[in-house]
């Protein structure tokens, strides 16, 4: 079932804007044989028609096309509509409960109150309006959807949303962008872009323009607040493109870099087309901005990726996906992940491993040289994913040197948290990052660092100091357990940074 979602249409007569009517009733000459397929089965309006005439015109259009029409009243609707339409409603369609309300908060990006409202209404999907800017958010199979406004957008392009549901789940959610922006802020930023282009051209030629005169001194007189304007433009660009994307818990099911013949460049093209999952990529394959050869590669890659994920075949992704993108697979393979950290006798080439810590989310185990260190290869082979901090340069090379039979590059996902954390602004050592994230270590190991860990090992080895060994093992356990806390805290930030960078 396809549902067209709209809100805040704000036209005060019976003449429906063409960009709205063409989506409800696609033109057969332009849409061709796809006209029937693109036609919605239901239209949901989240309020603010602004006039009873507008409501009747939209309802009449839907009735004439045999399309169900459902609507709630908005704050700008006249008293006639306030008497006719409810303030909120619950629809039950295809095994899903859909809540509809006009005002669910005024913030563009703070959805906490909306999630509580969804829970209060006992809904699977909450559709709302009022903010004139598209928002789609999802968590644990629940969805918040604001379609924006097709006539008076704010910090976004004119938009509606097409949602497809069936078998008790949401199959796809796709923004419907309606031509050139009518937002004054967007027009302002477009004008800024044109002026900056002219500035760059004048700088390149060593000329400046003042009225109709040109001089060759190379100075540009109007540079005031340029940096501030650039930030403002980026904020608008973010709201214009990125905020209408679902920010999923994982993006593995919308990843394409592991597929033969598809690089990051093509993945970005697919994301910029509004695709949110492999299912949507398959459904909209003919419309994607790819060559026929790349479309064939995409179709084959999706089939192979889905098969590998169903079979829990991690090796397909390990060998096809760049190592710095392995973090994408964490939610799908978290049950087969081990957090790993080692202690050594130093940092030189002759240094040896003293302790290896392994934590699988349930049990933290430490393996000590001279006691049970030789069990490490068998233990690590049980997992499909290894998660470390700075492990690409330190932990894994040391382990492979100690156990030459191990080679993790072809057999395991490896998430080295150091690099994605750097990309989102967390830099420095593990202890500093823990502090910045509000993670506090117990007093007994709060002052222990890498240098002290070496001293603790030497005290144990030379003096048989069991207390020193216990402190060292407690320190190592804190390292591996806190790695799980860190990735759970920041994973959504990894997803946001990845999508923002691709869509900027």
Residues 306 and 402 in one domain: no
Q: Is residue 66 part of a domain?
A: yes
Q: Is residue 499 part of a domain?
A: yes
Counting as low any pLDDT under 50, the low residues of the chain are 207-248
Amino acid 496: pLDDT: 80
Residues 172 and 55 in one domain: yes
* Distance from C-alpha of 279 to C-alpha of 128, rounded to nearest angstrom: 25
Residues 305 and 366 in one domain: no
Residues 6+ apart with CB under 8 A from 503: 241, 242, 245, 268, 271, 272
CATH number, position 393: 3.30.420.10
Amino acid 194: pLDDT: 66
Amino acid 241: pLDDT: 38
* Distance from C-alpha of 9 to C-alpha of 58, rounded to nearest angstrom: 10
Residues 343 and 303 in one domain: no
CATH number, position 106: 3.60.21.10
Amino acid 504: pLDDT: 57
Q: Which pLDDT tens digit goes with each residue over 146-168?
A: 998 988 887 777 889 999 999 99
Average pLDDT for the chain: 84
Q: Structurally, how many domains does the chain consist of?
A: 3
Please indicate, yes or no, whether the overall pTM of this predicted structure exceeds 0.75. no
- Only one residue has tokens 């290894």, namely 386
Tokens describing residue 252:
């593995």
Q: Which pLDDT tens digit goes with each residue over 122-146?
A: 999 999 998 888 888 888 889 999 9
Residues 272 and 169 in one domain: no
Q: Is residue 323 part of a domain?
A: no
Residues 350 and 475 in one domain: yes
Amino acid 213: pLDDT: 43
Last residue within a domain, chosen from 177, 203, 231? 177
- Say how many C-beta atoms besides its own lie within 10 A of residue 497's C-beta: 15
Residues 391 and 419 in one domain: yes
Domain housing 267: 252-311
Last residue within a domain, chosen from 131, 146, 177? 177
Amino acid 62: pLDDT: 94
Q: Is residue 184 part of a domain?
A: no
Q: Which pLDDT tens digit goes with each residue over 357-397?
A: 999 999 999 999 999 999 999 999 999 999 999 999 999 99
Residues 43 and 90 in one domain: yes
Amino acid 66: pLDDT: 92
* Distance from C-alpha of 151 to C-alpha of 18, rounded to nearest angstrom: 11
Q: Is residue 204 part of a domain?
A: no
Last residue within a domain, chosen from 153, 177, 201? 177
């Amino acid at each position: 079932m396809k549902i067209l979602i709209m809100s805040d249409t704000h036209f005060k007569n019976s003449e429906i804007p063409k960009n709205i009517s063409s989506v409800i009733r696609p033109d057969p000459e332009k849409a061709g044989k796809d006209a029937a397929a693109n036609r919605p089965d239901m239209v949901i309006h989240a309020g603010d028609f602004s006039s009873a005439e507008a409501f009747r015109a939209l309802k009449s259009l839907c009735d004439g096309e045999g399309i169900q029409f459902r609507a709630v009243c908005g704050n700008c609707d006249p008293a006639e509509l306030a008497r006719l339409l409810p303030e909120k409603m619950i629809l039950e369609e295809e095994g899903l409960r859909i809540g509809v309300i006009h005002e669910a908060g005024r913030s563009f990006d703070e959805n906490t109150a909306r999630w509580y409202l969804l829970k209060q209404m006992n809904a699977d999907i909450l559709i709302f309006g009022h903010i004139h800017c598209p928002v789609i958010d999802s968590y644990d199979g629940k969805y918040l959807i604001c379609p924006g406004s097709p006539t008076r957008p704010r910090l976004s392009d004119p938009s509606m949303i097409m949602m497809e549901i069936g078998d008790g789940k949401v199959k796809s959610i796709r923004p419907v962008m309606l031509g050139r922006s009518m937002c004054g802020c967007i027009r302002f930023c477009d004008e800024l872009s044109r002026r900056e282009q002219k500035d760059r051209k004048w700088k390149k030629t060593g000329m400046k323009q003042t009225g109709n005169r040109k001089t060759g001194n190379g100075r540009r007189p109007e540079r005031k607040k340029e940096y501030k304007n650039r930030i403002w433009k980026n904020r608008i660009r973010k709201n214009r493109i990125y905020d209408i994307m679902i920010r999923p818990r994982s993006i593995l099911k919308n990843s394409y870099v592991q597929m033969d013949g598809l690089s990051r460049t093509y993945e970005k093209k697919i994301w910029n087309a509004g695709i949110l999952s492999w299912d949507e990529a398959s459904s909209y394959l003919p419309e994607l901005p790819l060559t026929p050869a790349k479309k064939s590669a995409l179709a084959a890659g999706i089939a192979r990726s889905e098969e590998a994920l169903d079979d829990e075949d991690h090796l397909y992704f390990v060998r096809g996906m760049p190592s710095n993108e392995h973090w994408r697979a964490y939610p799908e393979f978290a049950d087969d992940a081990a957090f790993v950290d080692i202690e050594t006798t130093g940092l030189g080439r002759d240094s040896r491993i003293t302790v290896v810590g392994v934590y699988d989310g349930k049990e933290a185990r430490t393996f000590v040289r001279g006691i049970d260190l030789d069990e490490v290869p068998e233990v690590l082979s049980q997992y499909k994913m290894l998660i470390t901090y700075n492990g690409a340069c330190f932990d894994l090379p040391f382990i492979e040197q100690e156990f030459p039979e191990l080679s993790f590059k072809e057999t395991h996902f490896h998430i080295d948290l150091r690099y994605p954390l750097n990309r989102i602004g967390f830099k420095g050592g593990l202890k500093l990052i823990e502090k910045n994230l509000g993670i506090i270590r117990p007093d007994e190991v709060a002052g222990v660092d890498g240098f002290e860990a070496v001293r603790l090992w030497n005290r144990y080895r030379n003096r048989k100091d069991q207390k020193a060994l216990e402190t060292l093992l407690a320190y190592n356990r804190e390292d591996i357990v806190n790695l799980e806390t860190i990735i759970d805290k920041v994973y959504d930030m990894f997803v946001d940074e990845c999508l923002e960078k691709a869509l900027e």
